[in-house]
Chains A and B, each alone.
Chain A
Amino acid sequence: MAVSTDLKDRLIEAMPNLRAFAISLCGTSDRADDLVQETLVKAWNKIDSFEDGTNLKAWLFTILRNTYFSQYRKGRRELADTDGEYSSRLSVQPQQQGHIDVQDLSAALNELPDDQREALVLVAAEGFSYEQAAEISDCAVGTIKSRVSRARTRLAEIMQLDADDSFSGDQYGNTVLVAGDPIARG
């Protein structure tokens, strides 16, 4: 029927973004695809509750992140620790600057707490406004802002530590330790 065909097209359109968000949250593409799959089924079955004229992508993202936090989050740590299907998968594209940076970034992203990673990806990568991100994550705008800011700084710290450990390990190490940051060990 026409309605569902239209819906289907719109879901297809949103799919790359859903996947990218899911991969960012899950850390592995297998689990991410499961998560997207579940999100699509839920979206399809409760499309009636979607208000036309509002942002479909934001609505889908909300379903996806709620599903992630209620069902997928648990398994995440152990998977993340088996160092990096995520990283290796992301580095496969040689025409993009096949730089170590990409791997570092993925690994570093995995170090972030779930809520910070979510906020950062929504705002800095996906391009949602703070307000939209707050709605999706069901929290205050100020909370999102501070999560994004902490996530950015933390990510930069982690990557700097990785990239420059020869040059400024001590300096950064100390700084980070003083700030009470667990990643300083090791």
Chain B
Amino acid sequence: MQGSKVVSDNNQKAGKLNSPMPPQAVDAVGRKLKARYDEMLQEPIPDKLMQLLDKLDHAPAKEGEDAPDTADRGEE
């Protein structure tokens, strides 16, 4: 699959200390990270967060930065 431009082990052995990792390994890690992140995006939103939004939505509009205590806790 990723054989076309192989950065081989030799490359590392010849290696510069500054970049000991072959680019393909670095790319692979990037892809894994993205895949894992996308999995997290699929997770259902916890109830307590939805409840918090409901609470905020029904609380009287407030202009300051102070959150109403009840909303801050989310639930009791």
Contact = CB atoms under 8 A, between A and B. Distances in A.
Contact of A44 (B17, B20, B28, B56): B56
Interface residues of A, number: 51
Contacts of B63: 45, 48
- Name the prevailing secondary structure of the B interface residues: helix
The range of chain B's interface size is: 35 or more
A42 B20 CA distance: 43
Contacts of B40: 16, 19-20, 23-24, 90
Contacts of B7: none
B61 A105 contact: no
B32 A96 contact: no
Contacts, number: 119
Interface string B38-76: 011111011011101100110001111111000110100
B49 A40 contact: yes
A171 B17 contact: no
B57 A5 contact: yes
Given A17-B41, A153-B21, A124 B33 contact: yes
